[in-house]
Structure 1
Protein backbone atom coordinates (compact mmCIF):
# COMPACT_ATOMS: atom_id res chain seq x y z
CA UNK A 1 0.00 0.00 0.00
CA UNK A 2 1.23 3.48 -0.92
CA UNK A 3 0.26 5.51 2.17
CA UNK A 4 -0.03 9.26 2.60
CA UNK A 5 -1.48 11.29 5.48
CA UNK A 6 -3.94 14.18 5.78
CA UNK A 7 -4.27 16.06 9.08
CA UNK A 8 -7.73 17.18 10.18
CA UNK A 9 -9.19 18.56 13.42
CA UNK A 10 -11.62 16.08 14.98
CA UNK A 11 -14.64 18.42 14.86
CA UNK A 12 -14.14 19.17 11.19
CA UNK A 13 -13.69 15.48 10.29
CA UNK A 14 -16.96 14.60 12.01
CA UNK A 15 -18.81 16.81 9.49
CA UNK A 16 -17.47 14.69 6.59
CA UNK A 17 -17.37 11.21 8.10
CA UNK A 18 -20.59 9.89 6.55
CA UNK A 19 -20.26 11.59 3.18
CA UNK A 20 -19.07 10.21 -0.14
CA UNK A 21 -15.86 12.25 -0.11
CA UNK A 22 -13.80 14.63 2.04
CA UNK A 23 -12.65 18.22 1.39
CA UNK A 24 -10.65 20.34 3.86
CA UNK A 25 -11.67 23.87 4.88
CA UNK A 26 -9.05 25.52 2.66
CA UNK A 27 -9.79 23.50 -0.49
CA UNK A 28 -11.53 26.33 -2.38
CA UNK A 29 -8.63 28.67 -1.62
CA UNK A 30 -5.80 26.16 -2.22
CA UNK A 31 -7.27 24.06 -5.03
CA UNK A 32 -5.93 20.80 -3.60
CA UNK A 33 -5.76 18.74 -0.40
CA UNK A 34 -2.46 18.94 1.49
CA UNK A 35 -0.91 15.62 2.46
CA UNK A 36 2.39 14.26 3.78
CA UNK A 37 4.27 11.00 3.39
CA UNK A 38 6.07 9.22 6.23
CA UNK A 39 5.67 9.40 10.00
CA UNK A 40 8.59 11.80 10.56
CA UNK A 41 7.34 14.35 8.05
CA UNK A 42 3.81 14.01 9.43
CA UNK A 43 5.06 14.96 12.90
CA UNK A 44 7.05 17.94 11.57
CA UNK A 45 4.10 19.26 9.58
CA UNK A 46 1.72 18.80 12.53
CA UNK A 47 4.17 20.63 14.83
CA UNK A 48 4.40 23.54 12.36
CA UNK A 49 0.74 23.83 11.29
CA UNK A 50 -0.91 22.88 14.59
CA UNK A 51 1.67 24.31 17.03
CA UNK A 52 -0.93 26.29 18.98
CA UNK A 53 -3.88 23.93 18.42
CA UNK A 54 -5.41 22.65 21.66
CA UNK A 55 -8.19 20.41 20.32
CA UNK A 56 -8.21 16.80 19.18
CA UNK A 57 -6.35 16.19 15.94
CA UNK A 58 -6.80 13.23 13.61
CA UNK A 59 -4.82 11.92 10.68
CA UNK A 60 -6.48 10.31 7.68
CA UNK A 61 -4.46 7.36 6.42
CA UNK A 62 -4.91 7.35 2.65
CA UNK A 63 -4.06 4.63 0.12
CA UNK A 64 -2.79 6.64 -2.86
CA UNK A 65 -3.73 3.86 -5.26
CA UNK A 66 -7.40 4.11 -4.25
CA UNK A 67 -7.70 7.88 -4.68
CA UNK A 68 -10.16 8.80 -7.43
CA UNK A 69 -8.53 12.24 -7.68
CA UNK A 70 -5.02 12.74 -9.11
CA UNK A 71 -2.12 13.06 -6.67
CA UNK A 72 0.90 15.15 -7.62
CA UNK A 73 4.13 15.42 -5.66
CA UNK A 74 5.15 19.06 -5.60
CA UNK A 75 8.02 20.92 -3.98
CA UNK A 76 7.13 23.25 -1.13
CA UNK A 77 8.97 26.29 0.23
CA UNK A 78 10.95 24.02 2.57
CA UNK A 79 12.39 22.18 -0.47
CA UNK A 80 10.60 18.90 0.29
CA UNK A 81 8.13 17.09 -1.96
CA UNK A 82 4.58 16.82 -0.66
CA UNK A 83 1.65 14.89 -2.12
CA UNK A 84 -1.24 17.14 -3.17
CA UNK A 85 -4.63 15.62 -3.96
CA UNK A 86 -6.30 17.52 -6.79
CA UNK A 87 -9.97 16.86 -6.15
CA UNK A 88 -12.24 15.39 -3.49
CA UNK A 89 -10.85 12.52 -1.44
CA UNK A 90 -13.14 9.51 -1.82
CA UNK A 91 -13.84 7.73 1.47
CA UNK A 92 -12.81 4.30 0.24
CA UNK A 93 -9.27 5.66 -0.19
CA UNK A 94 -9.21 6.48 3.55
CA UNK A 95 -8.08 3.15 4.97
CA UNK A 96 -7.77 4.30 8.58
CA UNK A 97 -8.25 7.31 10.86
CA UNK A 98 -5.82 7.72 13.75
CA UNK A 99 -5.52 10.13 16.61
CA UNK A 100 -2.56 12.47 16.87
CA UNK A 101 -0.96 12.74 20.30
CA UNK A 102 1.12 15.60 21.66
CA UNK A 103 4.05 14.47 23.80
CA UNK A 104 6.56 16.99 25.16
CA UNK A 105 5.16 19.61 22.79
CA UNK A 106 5.49 17.47 19.65
CA UNK A 107 2.76 15.74 17.67
CA UNK A 108 3.01 12.05 16.85
CA UNK A 109 0.73 9.45 15.33
CA UNK A 110 -1.48 7.56 17.79
CA UNK A 111 -3.98 4.73 17.77
CA UNK A 112 -6.68 3.96 15.25
CA UNK A 113 -10.05 5.46 16.16
CA UNK A 114 -12.06 3.26 13.81
Structure 2
Protein backbone atom coordinates (compact mmCIF):
# COMPACT_ATOMS: atom_id res chain seq x y z
CA UNK A 1 0.00 0.00 0.00
CA UNK A 2 1.23 3.48 -0.85
CA UNK A 3 0.47 6.42 1.47
CA UNK A 4 -0.34 9.79 -0.09
CA UNK A 5 -0.99 12.92 2.00
CA UNK A 6 -3.65 15.34 0.84
CA UNK A 7 -5.94 17.93 2.35
CA UNK A 8 -9.49 16.58 2.35
CA UNK A 9 -10.67 19.47 0.17
CA UNK A 10 -8.18 18.50 -2.57
CA UNK A 11 -9.44 14.89 -2.60
CA UNK A 12 -13.07 16.02 -2.79
CA UNK A 13 -12.52 18.75 -5.40
CA UNK A 14 -13.18 16.69 -8.55
CA UNK A 15 -14.76 13.37 -7.49
CA UNK A 16 -15.66 12.45 -11.07
CA UNK A 17 -12.04 12.64 -12.31
CA UNK A 18 -8.79 10.84 -11.52
CA UNK A 19 -6.95 12.45 -8.61
CA UNK A 20 -4.05 14.76 -9.48
CA UNK A 21 -1.76 17.14 -7.63
CA UNK A 22 0.24 20.22 -8.57
CA UNK A 23 3.40 18.11 -8.25
CA UNK A 24 2.24 15.97 -11.16
CA UNK A 25 2.24 19.04 -13.41
CA UNK A 26 5.44 20.52 -11.94
CA UNK A 27 7.58 17.44 -11.31
CA UNK A 28 5.90 14.72 -13.35
CA UNK A 29 4.80 12.56 -10.43
CA UNK A 30 2.65 12.37 -7.30
CA UNK A 31 4.58 12.00 -4.05
CA UNK A 32 3.83 9.01 -1.80
CA UNK A 33 5.32 7.31 1.23
CA UNK A 34 5.85 3.64 1.94
CA UNK A 35 4.53 3.51 5.50
CA UNK A 36 2.80 5.39 8.30
CA UNK A 37 6.04 6.57 9.92
CA UNK A 38 7.33 8.22 6.75
CA UNK A 39 3.90 9.65 5.95
CA UNK A 40 3.79 11.33 9.37
CA UNK A 41 7.35 12.65 8.94
CA UNK A 42 6.34 14.19 5.61
CA UNK A 43 3.16 15.59 7.18
CA UNK A 44 5.20 17.34 9.86
CA UNK A 45 7.72 18.64 7.31
CA UNK A 46 5.26 19.79 4.64
CA UNK A 47 1.89 20.27 6.34
CA UNK A 48 2.81 21.58 9.81
CA UNK A 49 0.60 24.64 9.43
CA UNK A 50 -2.20 22.93 7.50
CA UNK A 51 -5.76 23.88 8.39
CA UNK A 52 -8.59 21.42 8.01
CA UNK A 53 -8.43 17.65 7.78
CA UNK A 54 -5.24 16.09 6.44
CA UNK A 55 -5.90 12.74 4.85
CA UNK A 56 -3.79 9.79 3.80
CA UNK A 57 -4.98 8.01 0.69
CA UNK A 58 -4.17 4.29 0.83
CA UNK A 59 -3.30 3.52 -2.77
CA UNK A 60 -3.18 -0.07 -3.97
CA UNK A 61 -0.22 -0.09 -6.34
CA UNK A 62 -1.61 -3.16 -8.14
CA UNK A 63 -4.80 -1.29 -9.08
CA UNK A 64 -3.11 1.86 -10.38
CA UNK A 65 -3.33 2.70 -14.06
CA UNK A 66 -0.19 4.88 -13.80
CA UNK A 67 3.30 3.48 -13.24
CA UNK A 68 5.08 3.69 -9.87
CA UNK A 69 8.81 4.22 -9.47
CA UNK A 70 10.82 4.24 -6.27
CA UNK A 71 13.11 7.26 -6.42
CA UNK A 72 15.81 8.35 -3.99
CA UNK A 73 15.07 11.65 -2.26
CA UNK A 74 17.61 14.20 -1.03
CA UNK A 75 17.59 12.46 2.38
CA UNK A 76 18.72 9.20 0.76
CA UNK A 77 15.40 7.44 1.39
CA UNK A 78 13.53 5.73 -1.44
CA UNK A 79 10.01 7.08 -1.92
CA UNK A 80 7.32 5.74 -4.24
CA UNK A 81 6.19 8.19 -6.92
CA UNK A 82 3.12 7.75 -9.10
CA UNK A 83 3.89 8.91 -12.65
CA UNK A 84 0.37 9.90 -13.66
CA UNK A 85 -3.05 10.59 -12.20
CA UNK A 86 -4.39 8.24 -9.54
CA UNK A 87 -7.49 6.44 -10.74
CA UNK A 88 -9.92 6.57 -7.84
CA UNK A 89 -10.55 2.83 -8.05
CA UNK A 90 -6.95 2.32 -6.85
CA UNK A 91 -7.69 4.12 -3.55
CA UNK A 92 -8.43 1.28 -1.15
CA UNK A 93 -9.16 3.51 1.83
CA UNK A 94 -8.41 6.71 3.62
CA UNK A 95 -6.96 7.59 7.01
CA UNK A 96 -6.99 10.91 8.82
CA UNK A 97 -3.81 12.35 10.30
CA UNK A 98 -4.31 13.51 13.87
CA UNK A 99 -2.21 15.85 15.96
CA UNK A 100 -0.87 15.26 19.46
CA UNK A 101 -1.11 17.79 22.29
CA UNK A 102 1.96 19.64 20.99
CA UNK A 103 0.39 20.12 17.55
CA UNK A 104 2.56 17.62 15.66
CA UNK A 105 1.00 15.07 13.35
CA UNK A 106 1.33 11.99 15.54
CA UNK A 107 -0.83 9.14 14.26
CA UNK A 108 -3.26 8.02 11.60
CA UNK A 109 -6.83 7.06 12.40
CA UNK A 110 -9.59 5.43 10.42
CA UNK A 111 -11.57 8.18 8.77
CA UNK A 112 -15.25 8.16 9.57
Structures share a fold, TM > 0.5?
Answer: yes
Range with greater deviation from structure 2 (99-108 or 56-65): 99-108
* Equivalence map 1:27-106=2 (5 Å): 27-103=24-100, 104-106=102-104
- Number of residue pairs aligned between Structure 1 and Structure 2: 110
Q: Distance in 1 between matches of 2:9 and 2:89?
A: 20
Contact 2:24 2:83 in 1 (8 A): no
More strand by percentage: 1
- Give 4+ residue runs of structure 1 displaced > 2 Å after superposition: none
TM-score, length basis structure 1? 0.90
Using the alignment, how far apart are the partners of 2:25 and 2:103 within structure 1?
31
Gaps of 5+ in 2: none
Aligned-pair Cα RMSD in Å: 1.2
**Structure 1 unaligned residues grouped into runs of 5+:** none
